[in-house]
Amino acid sequence: MAFIEFKNLSTWFYTESGIVKAVNGVSFEIPEGKTVCVVGESGCGKSVTALSLMHLVQTPPGKIVEGEILMDGEDLLKKSNKEMQQISGNKISMIFQEPMTSLNPVYTVGYQIMENLLFHTNIGKKEAREKAIEMIRLVNIPRAEEIVDCYPHELSGGMRQRIMIAMALICNPRLLIADEPTTALDVTIQAQILDLMRKLKDELNMSILLITHDLGVVAEMADYVVVMYAGKVIEKGNVADIFAHPTHPYTVGLLKSKPVIGQTEHNKRLYSIPGQVPNPVDMPENCYFNERCEFCTKQCKEEMPVLREIEPGHSVACWVKPEQ
C-alpha cells in the first residue's frame, strides 16, 4: 500500500528569464517500509520534488502550481505551515547533502538532536538528553556520552552525517528523505552510512525516499526506482526490472555510463549520453530527450510521450517500442 503518493505534481520557478518548470507533472508512489530511489542528472527536479513534499520550496520565486502529495490519503499541499511543522521531523524527516551547512555551528550536536524531540513531545530535558545519547549510539558513533556535548566542527564529515541521521530519526518518522546523503563522503564512510540506513529502515519499518545520481547506490539500496529527466518521470518500476530491462533510451544511457572494472584495461572510453538537456525556460512541446536519442522517430519530434505501463509495475514515457 502507498504511504506517500505524488499525483501530477508541478513546481515552477518564476525567474526574470522566464518560467522554469523544475517539476512538471510528476507522479509516483512510496510504499510503506520500502526504499524508492529517484535518479537523474543534476537539475532534473529530484530535490525540488522532495522540497515540495516538505513545504520547503522558497516562494517566490518557486510555486507549486498543480498536483497533490497524499500521505495516508490526506493532501499535504493543503496543510498550513503550522500543521506541516507537526509533521516535519515527526512523521517525515529529511537529511541533506552537506551536513556542515545543515548543522548549526553554535549549538552542540546533542542539543540539535534533542531539539526535535522537545518540540514534538512532552519529554523533559534530562530524558531527551538520554534519548540523544541513545540515538548517537544507534548510528554507530563511539563515546556517545562525550560526543553529545561536541560542536559540529569537532566532528568528521562521516560523524556529522551520522548526527544528521540521528536528528532525523529521533522521533521515529515513517518516511526518511535522504537527498544525496553520501556525496561529500569517501567511499568507505559512504558504505557505512548506506548500511546504517538500510539497517535502521528494517528495524523501524520506515520508508525511504533516496535522491541520488549514483547507480551503485541505487542497486544497493532501492526497492523501486523513479528515473527523472528535465522535470518529468520518464521511467519507473521495480529495481530489478529497471536494471535488467531498461526501456527508455535515457535510462539505458545512464546504465551504460556506469564505469565497469577493467574498462580502461581494454582502452574502452567511458560512455556518455550525447548532447545536453534543453534550455529549462524554453522547453519543447515534444519529447524532451528527442535531440539526444538515437531511436528518435517522427512522432518523438511532434508529440510529448505519456507515461504508460509496459508490464505490471514498470512504466515508461517513450514512443519507441520496448523491443528497440
Give the residue extent of every domain in the chain: 2-91+173-316, 100-172
> Taking the CA atoms of the chain, what radius of gyration do you get in angstroms?
21
**Is the separation of the CB atoms in 92 and 174 below 8 Å?**
yes
Q: Is 46 helix (H, G, I), strand (E, B) or coil?
A: helix
User: Which residue is it, cell 544525496?
Assistant: 180
The pLDDT value given to residue 324? 42
pLDDT tens, position by position, 236-246: 999 999 999 99
Distances (CA, A) of 104 to 8, 68, 130, 158, 320: 35, 32, 21, 16, 50
Q: Which residues of the chain have pLDDT under 70?
A: 1, 98-100, 184, 260-268, 321-324
Distance (Å, whole) CA 316 – CA 306: 8
Q: 2-91+173-316 sits in which CATH class?
A: alpha beta
Distances (CA, A) of 74 to 70, 173, 175, 282, 310: 5, 17, 15, 34, 29
Distance (Å, whole) CA 26 – CA 194: 26
pTM of this prediction exceeds 0.85: yes
What DSSP string describes 182-205?
TTTS-HHHHHHHHHHHHHHHHHHT
Question: Three-state SS across 240-260?
Answer: HHHHHCCCCHHHHHHHHCCCC
Distance (Å, whole) CA 249 – CA 227: 11
The pLDDT value given to residue 275? 83
Distance (Å, whole) CA 174 – CA 165: 14
